[in-house]
Amino acid sequence: MEGIRARFLITTAVLIAGCSHQTSFPYQKWAEKSDVPPASSERYNTLEKAALAVESSQAEALAKATTKKQRSQRTVLTRTTFFPQEKAIAIGIAAKGLSLVSSGMKQPGEFAYMPHDALQPHKLHPAWGFIGKVLAWRIRDYCANGDFDNAIRLCSLATQYGFFLTGGDAADAALGLSIVNQARISIVSNIPNLSATQLRALSGAVKRAYSARPSVMTTLENEHKVMLATIQLIQDSYQKSSYDALKLSMGQDGKDCLAYLNRLHNDESKRPAYFSGMAAEMEEEYKRWKTWAAQPTEQRKPRPKFKTERPWKWFARYYFRSGEPLLRMEDSTIALTRLFILDCELQRYVKIAKIAPKSIDTFDSELKTDPYSGRPFPYNAQGMVYRIYSVGSDLKDNGGDQTNSFREPDLILERS
């Protein structure tokens, strides 16, 4: 027995010694999870309360519903189309939230951003977007009733609110820019009907909201945090061999990426290079966004084609490409906001002088610059009639030609 025990102990010692010489590959930390909220912001906190108030109002309305039709009419946060009766119900549900947005935008503070899980929807977005939609409806209603002062007041609020939301990540910014666009579209066709005083008030309000907006560099920086958190999530999923969230997010497109991750378990030595390579591609993309953001569209070089196959390519397509569409939306919204301000000021000039200015040379340098070309917006005038527009995404001056979309071939205000 003693001999058997001795041989067992020797064998165990050899095995332990052999294990101690195995190479280990530590996991790199890409992002830290934190439940600590960012620095407090009175404005952001109030907008968060506004979203919760809308959710609560919808819940209360649904609790009182007694028929299937009533439940349908009172489910407003996920609805895309509204009949007049449904719109009236929706405005009532939005009332408290809208009041909080109005008071919140008078308070100090920046967007209190925390990195968002790219695999999950933004919880506050449905309510924030709904409030933006209701603001646009009310602007149109005021215009239809000839109450342009209140229409201007709400257009100012919606523009300020929308631009404030661009202080988050790419998804926050896309929502904010869509609210800015809805507000402009709701009033722009009535610009010729405004008095010189009202035109000055509108251009001044939009100009202040535009000037106070967060830098797109802030948005891109926040999106960079989202991408780092996503790499961390993918690595955590690999470590646990649990891919349900990724499968749900990517569907069939994630099949090859996830199959590769499963095979990677058979050779751990390749794992550090895999995640480092994915992170390097993400960092290069982020660097490209920052370069693009500092340039007119005309000067941006396209993303180079990859020369080698990357096993993480579908992860990159899903989670590291948000900056490019965001910058396209930013270009369009900034161009149209500048044109909106200039159009108000040009209309005011015509109302007072009874003739359009011969050029836009005297206007603010930034406001008269087309973000697509980096040069002044094309402008021509004859008598009291003028035309001002952006060359748009095709980067060609087509003389202001446009289709019903107002987006091509040139970009013009939606009232023309």
pLDDT digits (tens, 9 = 90+) for 102-125: 999 999 999 999 887 888 899 999
- The pLDDT of residue 37 is 62
How would DSSP label each residue in 175-187? HHHHHHHHHHHHH
Structure tokens at 256: 């090859």
- Rounded to an integer, the average pLDDT of 217-230 is 96
Q: Determine the distance from the C-alpha atom of residue 165 to the mean position of all C-alpha atoms in its chain, rounded to a whole number.
A: 8
Question: What confidence category does residue 19 fall into, taking pLDDT thresholds of 50, 70 and 90?
Answer: very low
CB under 8 Å to 187, separation ≥6 — which residues? Answer: 139, 140, 143, 151, 152, 155, 202
pLDDT higher than threshold 90 for residue 234 = yes
**Separation of alpha carbons 233 and 254, rounded Å:** 15
CA-to-CA separations, 154 to 54, 144, 160, in angstroms, rounded: 18, 14, 10
> Hey, how many other C-beta atoms are within 10 angstroms of the C-beta on 211?
11
pLDDT digits (tens, 9 = 90+) for 155-192: 999 999 999 999 999 999 999 999 999 999 999 999 99
* pLDDT number for residue 102: 98
What is the residue whose two structure tokens read 């209603």?
Answer: 141
Instruction: For tokens 């005297």, name the residue.
Output: 362
Which helix H or strand E contains 363, and what residues bound it?
A: none
Q: Which residues contact 186 (CB under 8 A, 6 or more apart)?
A: 136, 137, 139, 140, 143, 151, 155
Q: Quick one: pLDDT at residue 13?
A: 44
> Three-state SS for 42?
helix
Signed CA dihedral, 263, 265, 271, 277: sign only: positive
Cβ-based burial of 175 (10 A; exposed 0-12, middle 13-18, buried ≥19):
buried
Average pLDDT, the chain: 91
Residue 89: CB partners within 8 Å, gap ≥ 6?
Answer: 61, 73, 74, 76
pLDDT in tens, 345-369: 999 999 999 999 999 999 999 999 9
C-beta separation of 95 from 139 below 8 A: no
Q: Would you state the pLDDT for residue 36?
A: 61
Q: Which two tokens stand for residue 393?
A: 């995404």
Are the beta carbons of 190 and 182 closer than 8 angstroms?
Answer: no
Residues 6+ apart with CB under 8 A from 39: 112
Q: What pLDDT, on the 0 to 100 scale, is given for residue 404? A: 63
Say yes or no to pLDDT of 20 above 70. Answer: no
Could you give the 3-state DSSP secondary structure of residue 322?
Answer: coil
Distance between CA atoms of 112 and 102, rounded to whole angstroms? 18
Q: What is the SS3 assignment for 299?
A: helix
Q: What H or E segment, with its residue span, contains residue 27?
A: none
pTM, 2 dp? 0.91
